Amino acid sequence: MYGRLPIVKMLLVTLALTAVISAVMVPINWNGQGASAEAPKIDHLLNVMIVLSAFVFSLVMVMLFYALWKFKAKPGDESDGEPIHGNTRLEIAWTLIPTIIVLFAGGYSWKVLDDIEEPQKDHLTVSVFSQQFAWSFAYPGKDYAWTEEELHVPVGRQVHFKMHALDVIHSFWVPEWRIKKDNVPGITTTAIVTPDKVGTYQLVCTELCGFGHSTMRAKVVVEPPGKFKKWVEGLDQKAPKELMETVELDSTTNPPDLGAGGA
Ligand SMILES: [Cu+2]
């Protein structure tokens, strides 16, 4: 028989390998500059996932190389392998460990999502309209001041972007904000973002939506509240009737109330 597996040694090697991989991968700035209150939480979540993945990868590699080294047939050994059937301890381990990892990853992600989507009382609502291949935006009050190709938002205030796709599926993404949300014809989806750095960014469509997809961008300006207010007041276009009709027609489905349940 095999004798006892050096489980403690294998585990130590696994942990050491996990530490080495994590030390290389975690310091890398995968998402670039962050410019929202949500960004650090999402970046931290990504780092936690990297460490978990490094652990799983290391565990598999250590067991694979141990098996290759330990159970390699001697030269000239033509005999059959040992007739074995099942290994209860091993099966419990390979069921339990992944279950714990997946439940932890799911629970932690849930907590982060719940956290960053917590609505603030003083939030600003902006309607986003996407169509092949352009973005436009409507602001509340004053008959919905409307603007094309340029989005302004105040710094330090939570914004609820209500998304309306006019033709096919598009996706709203400002890399520095981290948040990404599909715009789906027929329903209203909502992205919740709290921009926390003044600056100019780019809104990118991240859903392949046709020939002009790669050009479907808009300028995003995050500015102090006073400047933002002036800018909105200076807009002279009103949202076209057809656009406001989609707002009424689209059913509000998102974000679903976490924990609301129901059949
Ligand atoms: Cu698009």
Write the pLDDT tens digit of every residue in 12-52.
999 999 999 999 999 999 999 999 999 999 999 999 999 99
183's tokens: 């715009």
149's tokens: 């190709």
CA of 240 to the centre of ligand 1 (A): 20
Residue 213 above 90 pLDDT? Answer: yes
The pLDDT of 76-91, averaged and rounded, is 87
Please state whether the predicted TM-score (pTM) of the whole model is above 0.95. no
**Nearby residues for ligand 1 (ion, Cβ within 5 Å):** 170, 205, 209, 216
Rounded Cα gap, residues 84 and 101, in angstroms: 29
Residue 253 above 80 pLDDT? Answer: no
CA of 206 to the centre of ligand 1 (A): 7
Rounded Cα gap, residues 211 and 197, in angstroms: 33
Least confident of 12-26, 64-78, 192-206, 234-248: 234-248
State the amino acid at position 80 in one-letter form: D
3-state secondary structure of 238: strand
CA of 183 to the centre of ligand 1 (A): 9
Residue 145 above 90 pLDDT? Answer: no
pLDDT at 251: 66
CA of 184 to the centre of ligand 1 (A): 11
> Mean pLDDT of all residues in the chain?
89
CA of 161 to the centre of ligand 1 (A): 16
CA of 167 to the centre of ligand 1 (A): 10
Among 42, 6, 37, which residue's Cα sits nearest to residue 158? Answer: 37
As a dihedral over the C-alpha atoms of residue 44, residue 170, residue 251, residue 192, rounded to 10 degrees, the angle is 30
Rounded Cα gap, residues 107 and 101, in angstroms: 10
Strand partners, 131: 134
Residue 263 above 60 pLDDT? Answer: no
CA of 246 to the centre of ligand 1 (A): 17
Rounded Cα gap, residues 204 and 215, in angstroms: 9
The pLDDT of 258-263, averaged and rounded, is 45
